[in-house]
Amino acid sequence: MPKECRRRTSKDLGLPGTGLGEGCRPERRAAGKQTCEELELLHSAAERAQPSGAAAAAMDAPRVPQVTITPEGGGSSREMQQEDWGDAVDGTLRRKLSNSSISSTGSSVAESEDDLLSDTESRSKGLVTLEHLLDAGDIKPWWKLKTIVHWPFSATQRRKLNWVQLAGHKGNFKAADEGTILKKFSEFEMQCFEKLKQDVLLSFVPEYHGVVEKDGESFLHMTDLLANFDLPNVMDCKMGVRTYLEVELGRARERPRPREDLYRKMVEVDGEGPTPEEHSQRAVTKPRYMQWRETMSSTHTLGFRIEGTKKSDGTCRTDFKKTRSKQDVMQVFADFVGGSGTITASYLSRLTEIQKALKTSEFFKRHEVIGSSLLFIHDHTGRAEVWMIDFGKTTALPEGQTLRHDVPWTEGNREDGYLWGLENLIHTLQAVGAGGTGREAADTHTH
């Protein structure tokens, strides 16, 4: 089961006193590992931040982004320093959006299969790095932005920065006008949003406002899904039985690029994961890693997996790599909805609507939907929504070809198992609503 993060103490950070949570166990830090710890760091810093100038003028906004910054590249990683805090919260720390494969992790990632993809596609992977604006000549470490969620701010310390990304999904974001976000441009995703304008799925995806240029880079401008929530609870479920594109598989086969960072991530979860050969190479290819991830989690068994959750109380959980059984998934859901039948029912109703729309959607029929998530959001008012997000790896099929999305994948058929996963997700949530433990609700459909 996933571990809960602990809140880092001011002592950990070398910062003056901040309010701190207790009771979470310490976790060993590992490069590339998704953690919640840094999320708490920014919260602590933000609580003390004194907005000034334009930021102070915008103090009527109730939320600020909460970010998880995961240092990349073992040797070069470091904790956030006190000097960074002011920057992080007053905006002088610029979010530099670039391909962190190059900027942060050096050769191991730069050697990945992704580098065989187009530049646009590679950049669309959603990696965010942060760079200081001051000290242009100074070489600073790069950080990978993993999670952005809202955080409640005291009345006197509010800033208007409503943007969001989910735990477990990497994202490239910039703050935008109220209620909107900018996401790093991806050709695939842009094409999806354009096509979705004429599709029945339109009401289930974030509103898309077009491409904008900022600081010399392109972004997709879209609605911030959290904007209308008060202290939202957020969950990201990655849909489908497969999380890599067939094209990635083919390219990896033609030109294998074993990666040490993925080997390390694998070993961290399961020392027996790598084959003897991979152990001796101390590296695994990306498709191999992705397939292993799928079998460790519920992707293969249920056709979806939980990537991360963030609750209104600040509890963040991102390590669901071994959450595989229906019982475990149910427990996470039960905890997420806090036993609320109303929230569960609202989620189910929305999921059923999405399911219905998917079955008639022309867009869905004609696309291989990989790495896309369903985003669950609810708050204490009882408001609960589910949205389809992340289309950076959603690719159009050749003219005339269509997918069923509920049949097994065999290489070449491009099936993604999205609908099968959704059906299982609905059954899982129904079992949660019925107060089941998961044991008695073993009615999961199998291929």
- Measured in whole angstroms, how far is the alpha carbon of residue 76 from the centre of its chain? 24
The sign of the CA dihedral 354, 355, 359, 362 is positive
**CA gap 337, 353 in Å, rounded:** 19
Asked if 305 touches ligand I3P (CB under 6 A), the answer is no
Asked if 310 touches ligand I3P (CB under 6 A), the answer is no
Stretch that binds ligand I3P, among 67-75, 173-181, 203-211, 286-294 (CB under 6 A): 286-294
The set of residues, in sequence order, having a beta carbon less than 8 Å from that of 25 and lying 6+ positions away, is: 3, 4, 6
Stretch that binds ligand I3P, among 82-90, 224-232, 285-293, 431-439 (CB under 6 A): 285-293
**CA gap 418, 348 in Å, rounded:** 17
Binding mask 124-153 for ligand I3P (x = CB under 6 A): -x----------------------------
For residue 340, the minimal CB distance to ligand I3P (Å) is 29
Binding mask 7-36 for ligand I3P (x = CB under 6 A): ---------------------------x--
Q: Which of residues 245-274 bind ligand I3P (CB under 6 A)?
A: 265
DSSP secondary structure letter of residue 24: P
For residue 370, the minimal CB distance to ligand I3P (Å) is 8
For residue 179, the minimal CB distance to ligand I3P (Å) is 27
**CA gap 265, 268 in Å, rounded:** 5
Helices (H), 197-309: 246-254, 260-269, 276-281, 286-296, 299-302
Q: What amino acid is encoded at 52 in this protein?
A: S
- Measured in whole angstroms, how far is the alpha carbon of residue 204 from the centre of its chain? 18
Q: What is the 3-state secondary structure (H, E, C) of 204-231?
A: HCCCEEEEEEECCEEEEEEECCCCCCCC
Asked if 183 touches ligand I3P (CB under 6 A), the answer is no
For residue 393, the minimal CB distance to ligand I3P (Å) is 6
DSSP secondary structure letter of residue 377: E
Nearer to ligand I3P, 127 or 441 (CB): 127
For residue 223, the minimal CB distance to ligand I3P (Å) is 23
Q: Which of residues 89-118 bind ligand I3P (CB under 6 A)?
A: 112, 114
With contact defined as beta carbons under 8 Å apart, do 290 and 244 qualify? yes
For residue 72, the minimal CB distance to ligand I3P (Å) is 10
Helix or strand or coil: residue 7?
coil
For residue 60, the minimal CB distance to ligand I3P (Å) is 37
For residue 107, the minimal CB distance to ligand I3P (Å) is 14
Size of the site for ligand I3P (CB under 6 A): 10
The set of residues, in sequence order, having a beta carbon less than 8 Å from that of 425 and lying 6+ positions away, is: 237, 239, 302, 303, 304, 351, 374
**CA gap 348, 333 in Å, rounded:** 12
Q: Which residue number places its CB atom closest to ligand I3P?
A: 125
Helix or strand or coil: residue 68?
strand
Instruction: List the one residue from 290, 384, 422, 432 that touches ligand I3P (CB under 6 A).
Output: 290
Nearer to ligand I3P, 34 or 35 (CB): 34
Instruction: List the one residue from 293, 326, 367, 378 that touches ligand I3P (CB under 6 A).
Output: 293
Count the Cβ atoms, other than its own, within 10 Å of residue 335: 14
Instruction: List the one residue from 232, 314, 371, 438 that touches ligand I3P (CB under 6 A).
Output: 371
Nearer to ligand I3P, 265 or 317 (CB): 265
Count the Cβ atoms, other than its own, within 10 Å of residue 133: 11
For residue 89, the minimal CB distance to ligand I3P (Å) is 27
**CA gap 373, 307 in Å, rounded:** 9
Nearer to ligand I3P, 299 or 361 (CB): 299
User: Which two three-digit tokens encode residue 118?
Assistant: 């187009």
Asked if 287 touches ligand I3P (CB under 6 A), the answer is no
236 forms beta bridges with 308, 375
Nearer to ligand I3P, 49 or 110 (CB): 110
Nearer to ligand I3P, 206 or 308 (CB): 308
Q: What amino acid is encoded at 310 in this protein?
A: K
Nearer to ligand I3P, 125 or 159 (CB): 125
Asked if 189 touches ligand I3P (CB under 6 A), the answer is no
For residue 122, the minimal CB distance to ligand I3P (Å) is 9
With contact defined as beta carbons under 8 Å apart, do 202 and 357 qualify? no
Asked if 286 touches ligand I3P (CB under 6 A), the answer is yes
Residues lying near ligand I3P in the complex (CB under 6 A) are found at 34, 112, 114, 125, 243, 265, 286, 290, 293, 371
